[in-house]
């Protein structure tokens, strides 16, 4: 293996240059404000966690974890998401705070990338967790807040697909009789392999009516009328999930965001993590979901303080890609001075900054090409030579 | 982003059959479509923009969302393991993945070697068979490998078996059947649901009617 060149970074690591940094900062500020306005409190957790706690509990696959060893030989992970660390905090440092708890975060998370570019290994996620509330009101609040946060950030055209893990589990167990067989089918949905799903169903020893029920599931995508089609597929098991979803849609209508939501019963993004409703957000400009979330009623139990919980995470990197980035406000004013006028230059800069301007104060002898340098700014104030007055141009 | 549906088509073997299927499904593709050397062809009447890619690359374009939909062989899907929806079996370009070798196979005593264009598929297959092998990736003319002593066996797609035969190789094990599939980007699947559902619906009707004739 050759040594890296000085310009190289580890795979998937990216720099944020000034222009992007500023746009990101603006978007981040708007999103944080919106989330705070809904009564969520921001927290921070460490970058490193134990593999045996947060690493194991996280929804992120093992091969995507960055692992390292501490001086005692314990395995550490760079936090792969924020949900597991928050579950840890809520079960330990905040264990005396009564449920429900509303927390939010804006943090970098890490996913090791094995294959190719186009996917960062470190990216910022803005999200919330609503812990200790299992109601449909909580489900709707989290989805409505996610939609509102995206809209405030400036994203216009997007859709949130909502599914229900409970429905899939109940339907499959009802038709197939046991969970092992249900898992085989879930695996096809997880792999997004509908062709494999359909041919597996065709080969099962089932009545043609049951086969049709399983095949029709693949078409359960769309608006509210999908709920009626879903009802026809299930005798008892999935009814609860359907009424959950119906209630959810009604509440989302109260929030005025129902036009952003589509139902999708095939949505199944994780083999075992989520327990109730799940959702993913998409926009036209992006090939990947830019946000996702769902109900995870098992996770808190792994940290010893069982609770129903739901949350979302928005990927700031994808969101910025999807937003038509506005030209950020750069530093517009520069005072170029010569050494004998330093005092005046500094006084002038203080005055301008107090008025709210960003000002660069630059010693002329530190610049190679004055014309080239000054062309970067809209206003240049020269404080040069013996004359008292600055010359502006 | 234009309102056209971007479809990634595989150049080569599958292309002609796929174009035929799209025409049967009622999409007006002009006769000169096949002869063009362009890599991007827009056909407003069909509401589609086609990109012509190497078959192995089709799932990559679709996963990254620069193409909404693609046509890809199952062999490529197994090898690439991309995060895309596989929604319809077009049942075209039938072939199968198989292990082949010289008629009088001499197993390498130290480590059995397998040459293939599909290193992931081959590795997984032999693991499942409980056999540890060493895999050598080649990009074409895989049949050469056992003839010249680079590997003992090969994993490759077989359609008629003629190439194997003419080179004195025999098929040892069949791995699985391969056909071409419609694949869809997850975001496009929601954002352009109506257009994509219609495409899939129309194609599946054509596929079904062909099945009945058989």
pLDDT tens digits, residue range B111-164? 899 999 999 999 999 999 999 999 999 999 999 999 999 999 999 999 988 989
- DSSP conformation letters of A114-145: -S-SSS-SEEEEEEEEEES--SHHHHHHHHHH
C-alpha dist (Å) from residue A290 to A25, A118, A285? 18, 14, 10
Residue finishing a domain among A302, A322, A342: A322
* Residue whose structure tokens are 């599931």: A217
Interface test with A, best of B187, B197, B207, B211 (most A CBs within 10 A): B187
Contact A54, A109 (CB under 8 A): no
Same domain, B9 and B83: yes
CA nearest to A12, candidates A114, A131, A155, A106 = A114
| Domain CATH code at residue A369 | 3.40.50.12590
Point out the residue among A118, A195, A282 whose CB comes nearest to the CB of B187: A282
CB contact under 8 A, A284 and B88: no
Same domain, B120 and B55: no
Same domain, A118 and A176: yes
Number of structural domains chain A divides into? 2
Report how far residue B35's alpha carbon sits from residue B73's, in angstroms, rounded to the nearest whole number: 22
The range of the structural domain enclosing residue B137 comes to: 95-176
Q: What is the percentage of chain B residues whose pLDDT exceeds 70?
A: 96
Q: Which two tokens stand for residue A21?
A: 């940094």
Same domain, B115 and B13: no
CB contact under 8 A, A194 and B188: no
Q: Which residues in chain A have Cβ-Cβ distances shorter than 8 Å to B186?
A: 192, 280, 282, 287-289
| Cα dihedral B76→B77→B79→B82 (10° resolution) | 130
In the predicted structure, residue B208 carries a pLDDT above the cut 60 = yes
Q: What pLDDT, on the 0 to 100 scale, is given for residue A272?
A: 84
Q: What pLDDT, on the 0 to 100 scale, is given for residue A390?
A: 45
Cβ atoms within 10 Å, residue A249: 18
Work out the minimum CA distance from A135 to partner chain B, whole angstroms.
Answer: 27
Report how far residue A60's alpha carbon sits from residue A128's, in angstroms, rounded to the nearest whole number: 17
Report how far residue A261's alpha carbon sits from residue B75's, in angstroms, rounded to the nearest whole number: 35
Work out the minimum CA distance from A196 to partner chain B, whole angstroms.
Answer: 8
Same domain, B132 and B101: yes
Report how far residue B35's alpha carbon sits from residue B38's, in angstroms, rounded to the nearest whole number: 9
In a domain, A1, yes or no: no
CB contact under 8 A, A282 and B186: yes
* Pairs of residues, one from chain A and one from chain B, whose beta carbons lie less than 8 Å apart: 54
| Domain CATH code at residue B41 | 3.40.190.10
CB contact under 8 A, B64 and A199: no
Same domain, A318 and A375: no
pLDDT band at B13 (very low <50, low <70, confident <90, very high): confident
Same domain, B189 and B170: no
In a domain, A234, yes or no: yes
pLDDT band at B35 (very low <50, low <70, confident <90, very high): confident
Same domain, A154 and A300: yes
Same domain, A238 and A289: yes
| Domain CATH code at residue A193 | 3.30.930.10
Residue finishing a domain among A278, A297, A322: A322
CB contact under 8 A, A159 and B65: no
Same domain, B185 and B169: no
Q: Which two tokens stand for residue A45?
A: 């957790």
In a domain, A9, yes or no: no
Q: Which residues in chain B have Cβ-Cβ distances shorter than 8 Å to A287?
A: 63-66, 185-188
**Tens digit of each residue's pLDDT, chain A (393 residues):** 689 898 888 888 999 998 889 899 999 999 999 999 999 999 999 999 999 999 999 988 888 999 999 999 999 999 999 999 999 999 999 999 999 999 999 999 999 876 677 789 999 999 999 999 999 999 999 999 999 999 999 999 999 999 999 999 999 999 998 888 899 999 999 999 999 999 999 999 999 999 999 999 999 999 989 999 999 888 777 889 999 999 999 999 999 999 999 999 999 988 889 999 999 999 988 999 999 999 999 999 999 999 999 999 999 999 999 997 666 666 789 999 999 999 999 999 999 999 988 999 999 999 999 999 999 898 999 999 865 444 444
Q: What pLDDT, on the 0 to 100 scale, is given for residue B100?
A: 95
Q: What pLDDT, on the 0 to 100 scale, is given for residue A271?
A: 81
Same domain, A301 and A338: no
CA nearest to B123, candidates B60, B114, A114 = B114
The range of the structural domain enclosing residue A112 comes to: 18-322
Same domain, A280 and A387: no
Same domain, B84 and B190: yes
Q: Which residues in chain B have Cβ-Cβ distances shorter than 8 Å to A285?
A: 1
Number of structural domains chain B divides into? 2
Same domain, B145 and B193: no
Q: What pLDDT, on the 0 to 100 scale, is given for residue A291?
A: 97
Same domain, B80 and B130: no
Same domain, B89 and B61: yes
Beta strands in B44-160 (DSSP E): 48-53, 69-73, 85-89, 95-102, 113-116, 134-137, 153-158
CB contact under 8 A, B190 and A282: yes
Q: Where are the alpha helices (DSSP H) in chain B?
A: 13-24, 58-63, 74-80, 119-128, 144-148, 162-166, 186-191, 193-213
Work out the minimum CA distance from B38 to partner chain A, whole angstroms.
Answer: 24
Same domain, B87 and B10: yes
Same domain, A227 and A301: yes
Interface test with A, best of B66, B190, B207 (most A CBs within 10 A): B190
Report how far residue B8's alpha carbon sits from residue B68's, in angstroms, rounded to the nearest whole number: 8
First vs last C-alpha separation in chain A: 55
Q: Where are the alpha helices (DSSP H) in A153-238?
A: 165-176, 179-190, 194-202, 208-216, 225-233
CB contact under 8 A, B85 and A161: no
Closest-CA residue in chain A for B179? A195
Q: What pLDDT, on the 0 to 100 scale, is given for residue B30?
A: 86
User: Residue A229: helix, strand or coil by DSSP?
Assistant: helix
In the predicted structure, residue B81 carries a pLDDT above the cut 70 = yes
Closest-CA residue in chain A for B85? A192
Same domain, A283 and A350: no
Same domain, B191 and B113: no
In the predicted structure, residue B1 carries a pLDDT above the cut 50 = no
In the predicted structure, residue B99 carries a pLDDT above the cut 90 = yes
Q: What pLDDT, on the 0 to 100 scale, is given for residue A392?
A: 46
Q: What pLDDT, on the 0 to 100 scale, is given for residue A219?
A: 92
In a domain, A7, yes or no: no
CB contact under 8 A, A288 and B193: no
Closest-CA residue in chain A for B86? A193
Residue finishing a domain among A322, A355, A384: A322
Q: What pLDDT, on the 0 to 100 scale, is given for residue A393?
A: 41
CB contact under 8 A, B65 and A286: yes
* Interior/surface letters A330-343, b for 16+ CB within 10 angstroms, e for the rest: eeebbbbbeeebee
Question: What average pLDDT does range B189-198 have in this prediction?
Answer: 94
Work out the minimum CA distance from B32 to partner chain A, whole angstroms.
Answer: 31
Same domain, A268 and A385: no
Same domain, A158 and A124: yes
User: Residue A101: helix, strand or coil by DSSP?
Assistant: strand
């Amino acid at each position: 293996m050759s040594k890296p060149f000085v310009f190289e970074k580890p795979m998937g690591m990216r720099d944020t240059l000034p222009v992007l940094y500023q746009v990101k900062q603006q978007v981040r500020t708007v999103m944080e404000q919106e989330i705070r306005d809904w009564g969520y409190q921001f927290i921070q957790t460490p970058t490193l966690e134990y593999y045996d706690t947060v690493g194991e509990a996280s929804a992120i696959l093992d091969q995507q974890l960055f692992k390292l060893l501490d001086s005692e030989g314990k395995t550490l992970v760079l936090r792969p998401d924020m949900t597991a660390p928050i579950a840890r905090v809520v079960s330990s440092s905040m264990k005396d705070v009564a449920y429900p708890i509303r927390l939010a975060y804006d943090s970098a998370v890490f996913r090791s990338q094995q294959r190719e570019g186009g996917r960062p290994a470190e990216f910022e996620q803005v999200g919330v967790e609503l812990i200790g509330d299992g109601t449909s009101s909580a489900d709707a609040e989290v989805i409505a807040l996610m939609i509102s946060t995206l809209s405030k950030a400036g994203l216009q055209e997007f859709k949130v697909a909502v599914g229900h893990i409970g429905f899939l589990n109940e339907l499959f167990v009802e038709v197939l009789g046991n969970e092992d067989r249900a898992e085989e089918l879930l695996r096809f949905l997880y792999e997004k392999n509908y062709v494999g799903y359909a041919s597996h169903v065709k080969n099962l020893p089932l009545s043609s009516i049951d086969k049709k029920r399983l095949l029709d599931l693949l078409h359960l995508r769309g608006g509210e009328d999908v709920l009626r089609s879903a009802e026809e597929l299930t005798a008892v098991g999935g009814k609860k999930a359907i009424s959950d979803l119906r209630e959810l849609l009604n509440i989302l209508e109260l929030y005025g965001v129902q036009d952003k939501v589509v139902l999708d019963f095939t949505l199944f993004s994780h083999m075992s993590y989520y327990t109730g409703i799940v959702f993913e957000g998409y926009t036209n400009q992006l090939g990947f979901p830019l946000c996702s979330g769902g109900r995870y009623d098992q996770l808190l139990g792994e940290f010893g303080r069982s609770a129903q919980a739901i949350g979302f995470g928005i990927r700031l990197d994808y969101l910025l890609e999807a937003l038509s980035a506005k030209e950020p406000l750069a530093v517009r004013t520069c005072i170029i001075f010569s050494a004998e006028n330093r005092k005046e230059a500094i006084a002038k800069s203080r005055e301008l900054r107090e008025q709210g301007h960003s000002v660069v104060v630059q010693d002329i002898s530190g610049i190679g090409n004055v014309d080239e340098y000054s062309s970067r700014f809209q206003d240049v104030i020269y404080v040069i030579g013996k004359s008292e007055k600055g010359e502006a141009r | 982003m234009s309102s056209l549906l971007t479809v990634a088509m595989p150049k080569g073997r599958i292309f002609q059959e796929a174009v035929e299927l799209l025409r049967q499904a009622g999409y007006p593709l002009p006769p000169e479509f096949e002869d063009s050397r362009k890599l991007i062809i827009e056909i407003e009447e069909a509401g589609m923009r086609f990109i012509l890619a190497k078959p192995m690359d089709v799932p990559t374009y679709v996963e990254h969302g620069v193409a909404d939909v693609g046509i890809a062989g199952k062999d490529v899907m197994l090898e690439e393991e991309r995060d895309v929806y596989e929604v319809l079996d077009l049942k075209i370009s039938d072939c199968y993945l198989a292990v082949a070798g010289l008629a009088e196979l001499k197993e390498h005593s130290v480590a059995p070697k397998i040459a293939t264009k599909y290193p992931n598929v081959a590795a997984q297959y032999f693991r499942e068979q409980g056999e540890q092998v060493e895999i050598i990736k080649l990009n074409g003319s895989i049949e050469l490998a056992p003839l010249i002593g680079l590997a003992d066996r090969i994993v490759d797609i077989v359609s008629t078996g003629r190439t194997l035969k003419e080179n004195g190789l025999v098929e040892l094990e069949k791995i699985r059947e391969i056909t071409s599939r419609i694949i869809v980007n997850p975001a496009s699947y929601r954002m352009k649901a109506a257009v994509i559902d219609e495409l899939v619906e129309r194609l599946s009707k054509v596929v079904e009617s062909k099945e009945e004739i058989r």
